[in-house]
Amino acid sequence: MTTPHSRRRTPEFGLCSRDRSPGGHGAAGTVRYPLAHDSSGEAKEQPVSIEIPRPSSALPSAPAKLRILETANQLFYGDGIRTVGVDRLISASSVTKATFYKHYGSKDRLITEYIDYRHRQVAEWLADLAAADDDPARMLAALQEAITTAISTPGFRGCPFINAAAEFPDAAHPVRRAVERHREWYVDVLEQLLRRVGHPMSGEAADDLMLARDGAMTGGYAGDPIASTTALNRAFGRVLSETRSPVSA
């Protein structure tokens, strides 16, 4: 029987901004892109790279602790963070109450670790992609495809980070801060990729794509996923058409 913690892990962009040194990130995958542009628009050889930070902290080594986290990952996303109580987490994880509190101490701590776990999935996927392919245009295309695929996948409930933020109105709450760190990291990655493909206003374009992603993931869950993914594809196409060397979306 498939349990929440036995399902195959994927880069969950929705099943899943601009802090230059987000806490908790370590070794990076690197995209090397041999052409940069000077102020006149001329291409020139220049060693540049895109850093995709990986989380430096390891996953829990204790099987029970990891099982609780993977169970929370499924239940918090599927049913909502505040809806899922500690007793249900304990039962679904097949652990005792003593084991739960030994490893996490409180539900609040588990929630923040859930957000970090979601960030890890996206960060490691992108870092692996950067290590395997040195073309930022293809990375943007892969990211676009991953988002549209997630929106069309059964069980999609929108962006887990936006969902979590909506349940915690206090902007100073640790959960909100964890969400903010993820979003800043995400926009930073977009900005680097857009800069490497020659977008003249890569920061603004990254903000545009982030907003388009947010809208598509929210609309894809609450409304029509086909209309949402089509709109997202238009947004990517428009942004990429503004690069010095237009990229096919």
Yes or no: is domain 4-241 CATH 1.10.357.10? yes
- Residue 26: predicted pLDDT: 42
Examine the pLDDT at 117 and tell me if it is beyond 90.
Answer: yes
Q: Report the distance separating Cα 190 and Cα 6, nearest Å.
A: 32
Q: Report the distance separating Cα 77 and Cα 7, nearest Å.
A: 14
pLDDT in tens, 78-89: 999 999 999 999
- Residue 13: predicted pLDDT: 59
pLDDT-derived band at 20 (thresholds 50, 70, 90) equals very low
pLDDT in tens, 203-214: 999 999 999 999
pLDDT in tens, 169-213: 999 999 999 999 999 999 999 999 999 999 999 999 999 999 999
Instruction: State in Å, rounded, how far the first CA of the chain is from the last one.
Output: 40
Examine the pLDDT at 224 and tell me if it is beyond 50.
Answer: yes
Distances (CA, A) of 206 to 234, 241, 247: 15, 14, 15
Give the pLDDT mean for 112-124.
95
Position 24, amino acid = G
Residue 90 C-beta-side C-alpha neighbours within 13 Å: 15
Q: Report the distance separating Cα 163 and Cα 159, nearest Å.
A: 6
- Residue 158: predicted pLDDT: 97
pLDDT-derived band at 34 (thresholds 50, 70, 90) equals very low
Residues β-bridged to residue 37: 43
Backbone phi, psi, residue 172, to 5°: -90, -5
Token representation of residue 67: 């099982």
- Residue 5: predicted pLDDT: 40
Asked if 16 contacts 156 with a C-beta cutoff of 8 angstroms, the reply is no
Give the pLDDT mean for 146-163.
97
Give the pLDDT mean for 134-147.
93
The model's pTM: 0.80
pLDDT in tens, 52-103: 767 777 889 999 999 999 999 999 999 999 999 999 999 999 999 999 999 9
As a whole number, the mean pLDDT across the chain is 84
